[in-house]
Amino acid sequence: MKNPRISLIGVFFILFIISCKNDHPKKPEIIRGFLDLSTWDFKKNGIFYLTGDWEFYWHYLFEPEDFETNKLVDPDYINVPFSWTKKNNSNRSYPEFGYGTYRLRIIVPDDSAAYKFHFSSIFSSAKVWINGSFCFEKG
């Protein structure tokens, strides 16, 4: 006859493994300037921080219509919210003084829903467009 103690330990081990199952969806990542939030449930999962690899165009100040022409220079990819003076994914950094365009494309779960963006720190001038519409300007 098997030892009942070993069977009981086995049952507890299986229950432990089942209870450790993670029911949270895998958090989407920003990769090469693109983020797919189509399956993100904001009510269930909460806010989403837009940290990751945004497109970055050093010494260019593009506007939305510029991206429609497909005649742009190739972007670099820079980790946001970090400074462009720090090494980025292509092992490149930029001078402290200068300008550039950041771009992030996002797919959202509901095109007709209202979404809020909060910019906690923009230390210089900025213009922000969402879906080709000008939203705000700082500096």
Q: Please write the tens of the pLDDT for every residue from 7-23.
A: 556 555 555 555 555 55
Q: Is residue 65 part of a domain?
A: yes
Q: Please write the tens of the pLDDT for every residue from 70-110.
A: 777 899 999 988 888 887 767 788 998 999 999 999 999 88
Q: Is residue 83 part of a domain?
A: yes
Q: Is residue 1 part of a domain?
A: no
Query: Is the pLDDT higher at 16 or at 33?
Result: 33
Q: Is residue 28 part of a domain?
A: yes
Give the mean pLDDT of 113-119: 84
Rounded Cα–Cα distance for residues 25 and 32 (Å): 21
Q: Is residue 12 part of a domain?
A: no
Number of domains in the chain: 1
Half-sphere exposure of 116 (CA within 13 A, CB side): 5
Rounded Cα–Cα distance for residues 85 and 83 (Å): 5
Q: Is residue 7 part of a domain?
A: no
pTM: predicted TM-score of the whole model, two decimal places: 0.76
Domain containing 94 equals 21-138
Rounded Cα–Cα distance for residues 106 and 108 (Å): 6
Which two three-digit tokens encode residue 50?
């837009």
Q: Which residues, 6 or more positions from 40, have their beta carbon under 8 angstroms from its beta carbon?
A: 25, 28, 48, 109
pLDDT at 15: 52
Amino acid letter, 126: A
